[in-house]
């Protein structure tokens, strides 16, 4: 593989604009409890040291296989799940340092569109009542003013005002997703986590929802974290792309650079699986061997080395850091950056070991939990 030369590592927030969302070393570990007394026997490292920025008006696409931690990342950003470690800043403000009252105010500015629109709506409430409820909770509007706001956002999302009197089961899947988007839009947010918003929809409906999200972004100057496993959709909607594997961010790049020349072997394998519309074009598929390792027992060194077709001995011993190339294309791979750079970056971040793993002790400490 031809690799780009590297330069000294720089912070992720190198743009002139200040980020809307800034993550630094974000972690979410779920405890594994066993026995009668539910003692903690280990942890599932769903998100393990993720750092990136999202800038005003952009769509940051977060991709990866199922179980890589991308949806958990979105929920931890919004404090729907508590973080185990690291920090989340919204417009420079520490989200996890916010009081309950302040967090309620922040929730008006940070919303989420869930993957399954049916489970995201209360089946016992009309969609109008569901939207009016959040308007009342946040003190935005009540009574006739709230109903006017409900009809306004439903109309903007492609529904009719009379739909506010219907229950979730009376809508199609695409209409329910429009309702969920309208509910998020009702609070006039700045930042929205779109957690696989089209994966549960028919292909014929997916493009309509994507176009709606793009139109709303342009009209209301929204910033998106778009979580998806569909790289063809991400190519259409995203400005930058981040790739997650086993709880870690392994690549971040501008969309054009990522799709033209991915740097991480895992990204290459993902892109090779994207179907092409031209039947005469033959695409070389990269088949990864083995299964994704368990996040409760990750491999030593690079988490991808057990499946990587280019694995080297150093990959088992040194954890690669997410470092930039001269073009600002970030990758966590020893094929892109010399191991010495990863060791230096890890030490600069406070890791006294420099990310160098004692493989013998790692194997014994990572024994499977019975």
Q: What is the DSSP string of 182-194?
A: HHHHTT--SEEEE
Q: What is the band of 178 on the pLDDT scale with cuts at 50, 70, 90?
A: very high
pTM exceeding 0.85 = yes
Q: pLDDT digits over 17-71, tens only?
A: 899 999 999 999 999 999 888 899 999 999 999 999 999 999 999 999 999 999 9
Give the architecture-level CATH label for domain 18-238: 3-Layer(aba) Sandwich (3.40)
Q: Which residues contact 306 (CB under 8 A, 6 or more apart)?
A: 290, 293, 299
Q: Where does the chain have alpha helices with state H?
A: 70-77, 100-109, 127-137, 143-156, 173-185, 203-220, 231-237, 255-260, 265-272, 339-348, 359-365
Lowest mean pLDDT across 27-31, 84-88, 293-297: 293-297
Please name every residue paired with 252 in a beta bridge, in sequence order, or none if there are none: 242, 330
Q: Where does 13-159 have alpha helices with state H?
A: 70-77, 100-109, 127-137, 143-156
Does an H or E element contain 51, and which? Answer: strand 39-54
Taking every pair of Cα atoms in the chain, the longest distance, rounded to a whole number of angstroms, is: 68
Q: What is the band of 15 on the pLDDT scale with cuts at 50, 70, 90?
A: low
Looking at residue 164, the DSSP 8-state letter turns out to be G
The pLDDT of residue 360: 52
Most confident of 11-15, 251-255, 278-282: 251-255
Length of the chain: 370
Nearest alpha carbon to residue 342 among 320, 361, 311: 320
User: How many CA atoms lie within 13 Å of 325's alpha carbon, on the beta-carbon side?
Assistant: 23
Q: Which residue has the higher pLDDT, 256 or 364?
A: 256
Q: What residues does CATH 3.40.50.300 cover in the chain?
A: 18-238
Question: What token pair was written down for 144?
Answer: 């006739």
For residue 192, pLDDT over 90 is answered with yes
For residue 176, pLDDT over 90 is answered with yes
């Amino acid at each position: 593989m031809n690799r780009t030369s590297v330069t000294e590592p720089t912070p992720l927030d190198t743009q002139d604009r200040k980020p809307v969302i800034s993550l630094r070393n974000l972690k979410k570990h779920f405890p594994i409890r066993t026995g009668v007394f539910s003692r903690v026997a280990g942890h599932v490292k769903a998100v393990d040291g993720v750092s990136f920025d999202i800038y005003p008006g952009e769509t940051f696409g977060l991709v990866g296989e199922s179980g890589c931690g991308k949806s958990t990342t979105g929920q931890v950003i919004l404090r729907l799940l508590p973080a185990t470690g690291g920090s989340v800043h919204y417009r420079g403000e520490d989200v996890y340092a916010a009081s309950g009252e302040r967090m309620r105010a922040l929730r008006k500015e940070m919303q989420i569109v869930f993957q399954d629109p049916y489970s995201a709506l209360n089946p016992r409430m009309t969609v109008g009542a569901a939207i009016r409820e959040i308007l009342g909770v946040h003190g935005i509007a009540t009574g006739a003013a709230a109903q006017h706001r409900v009809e306004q956002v439903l109309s903007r999302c492609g529904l009719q005002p009379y739909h506010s009197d219907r229950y979730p089961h009376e809508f199609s899947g695409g209409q329910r997703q429009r309702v969920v988007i309208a509910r998020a839009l009702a609070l006039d947010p700045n930042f929205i986590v779109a957690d696989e918003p089209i994966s549960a929809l028919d292909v014929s409906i997916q493009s309509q929802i994507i176009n709606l999200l793009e139109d709303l972004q342009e009209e209301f100057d929204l910033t998106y974290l778009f979580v998806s496993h569909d790289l063809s959709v991400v190519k259409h909607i995203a400005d930058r792309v981040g790739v997650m594997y086993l709880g870690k961010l392994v690549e971040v790049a501008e969309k054009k650079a990522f799709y033209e020349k991915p740097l991480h072997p895992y990204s290459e394998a993902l892109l090779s699986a994207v179907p092409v519309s031209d039947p005469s074009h033959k695409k070389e598929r990269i088949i990864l061997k083995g299964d994704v390792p368990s996040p409760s027992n990750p491999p030593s060194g690079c988490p991808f080395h057990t499946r990587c077709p280019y694995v080297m001995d150093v990959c088992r011993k040194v954890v690669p850091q997410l470092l930039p190339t001269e073009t600002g294309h970030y990758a966590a791979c020893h094929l892109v950056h010399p191991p010495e750079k990863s060791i230096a970056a890890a030490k600069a971040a406070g890791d006294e070991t420099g990310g160098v793993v004692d493989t013998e002790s790692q194997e014994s400490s990572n024994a499977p939990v019975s």
